[in-house]
Amino acid sequence: MQIYGVIGHPVVQSLSPVVHNAAFKALEIDASYKTFDVEPEDLGNFMEKARSDISGLSVTIPHKVEIIKYLDKIDERAKKIGAVNTIKNKNGILKGSNKDIDGAMQALEEVTEISNKNILVLGAGGAARAIVYGLTTKNAKVTILNRTLEKAQQLAKEFNCNFDSLENLKKHTPEILINTTSVGMSPNTEGSPVPKDFFKPQMIVFDIIYKPLITKFLKQAKKAGCQIITGEKMLLYQAIKQFETWTNQKAPVEIMREALMEELHRAS
């Protein structure tokens, strides 16, 4: 049996096992997807064993950056953003890539064109890096707003886009608004990164948080008449890309979606 899994710390809450195991079962692939809770100081040892024992890994917080030094190859996009969330083990050669970018872009492209759109990204952390990179490769006009201005400035410089401080939010009129901050995430569900009067009916509003599925940010956006995109889409679409990279087979998308939604509802 092939072994796959998610490596992180902590990982108990990960939704990936149900999604990938449902897909393996549906396609009758003799594989199992596990959780590997690995502390940062144990990462080197774990990766040495992984080389002989594990066929593929999803990588999550806090290992997405540090893990790169244990890999044999990483693709161009993972190199550009400096973070890996997917590892494929091919005959003991470990190759890293980043499917978070695909996940976020697909969630957006399902409902809108990206090219030439005026897009406001809230936050400048790890998730923002992948998203801003994806958006700029598709020729969007991106502005990054972050509580800590220097981080927005740094990211904007790296990916050649604009930045501003959160205090200047009201000066912006984006066509697409994306929240990559943790504001509004369970258990602090009363928070929203923007006041409700910021939303205009024609905006497309995307929150990458999936706990809860409808954050206060999305609730207020919907009330204002905006089209909303929920965070589980990014999670699902990156999982689909991972699965296809590992197995070279077409992923059973609807089965994976159902497994994810069931688990999300069960956990909430």
Q: Does the protein bind ligand ATR through residue 165 (CB under 6 A)?
A: no
Q: Does the protein bind ligand ATR through residue 82 (CB under 6 A)?
A: no
Of residues 183, 179, 151, the one with CA closest to residue 164: 151
Q: Does the protein bind ligand ATR through residue 181 (CB under 6 A)?
A: yes
Q: Is 219 helix (H, G, I), strand (E, B) or coil?
A: helix
Q: What span, in angstroms and rounded, lies between the C-alpha atoms of 53 and 34? A: 13
* Active site (catalytic) residues: 64
Helix, strand, coil share (%) of the chain residues, nearest 5 = 45, 20, 35
Reported as type and span, the H/E element at residue 144 is strand 141-146
The region of 38-46, 108-116, 177-185, 221-229 touching ligand ATR under the rule CB under 6 A is 177-185
Nearest approach in angstroms of CB 186 to ligand ATR is 14
Bond into 212 cis (ω within 30): yes
Q: Does the protein bind ligand ATR through residue 185 (CB under 6 A)?
A: no
Spatial contact of 210 and 264, defined as CB atoms under 8 Å apart: yes
**Alpha carbon of 137 to those of 19, 51, 223: distances in Å?**
29, 32, 32
Give the Cα-Cα-Cα angle 114, 213, 178 (nearest 5 degrees). Answer: 30
Q: In the numeric block, which tokens belong to residue 43?
A: 């990462």
Q: Does the protein bind ligand ATR through residue 200 (CB under 6 A)?
A: no
Binding ligand ATR (rule: CB under 6 A), the pick from 143, 180, 215, 247 is: 180
Q: Does the protein bind ligand ATR through residue 168 (CB under 6 A)?
A: no
Of residues 261, 252, 268, the one with CA closest to residue 231: 261
Q: Which residue, 56 or 193, has its beta carbon nearer to ligand ATR?
A: 193
Nearest approach in angstroms of CB 133 to ligand ATR is 13
Nearest approach in angstroms of CB 143 to ligand ATR is 14
Point out the residue whose Cβ comes nearest to ligand ATR.
125
Q: In the numeric block, which tokens belong to residue 145?
A: 């707003």
Residues paired with 164 in a beta bridge: 145
Nearest approach in angstroms of CB 148 to ligand ATR is 3
Nearest approach in angstroms of CB 40 to ligand ATR is 15
Q: Which residue, 60 or 106, has its beta carbon nearer to ligand ATR?
A: 60
Binding footprint of ligand ATR, residue count (CB under 6 A):
15
Of residues 60, 210, 175, the one with CA closest to residue 126: 60
Q: Does the protein bind ligand ATR through residue 126 (CB under 6 A)?
A: yes
Q: Is 176 helix (H, G, I), strand (E, B) or coil?
A: strand
Binding ligand ATR (rule: CB under 6 A), the pick from 9, 65, 79, 125 is: 125
Q: Which residue, 118 or 182, has its beta carbon nearer to ligand ATR?
A: 182
Tell me which residue has tokens 């990982």: 11
Q: Which residue, 22 or 104, has its beta carbon nearer to ligand ATR?
A: 104
Q: Which residue, 23 or 122, has its beta carbon nearer to ligand ATR?
A: 122
Q: Which residue, 136 or 180, has its beta carbon nearer to ligand ATR?
A: 180
> Residues interacting with ligand ATR, by CB under 6 A?
123-128, 146-148, 151, 180-183, 193
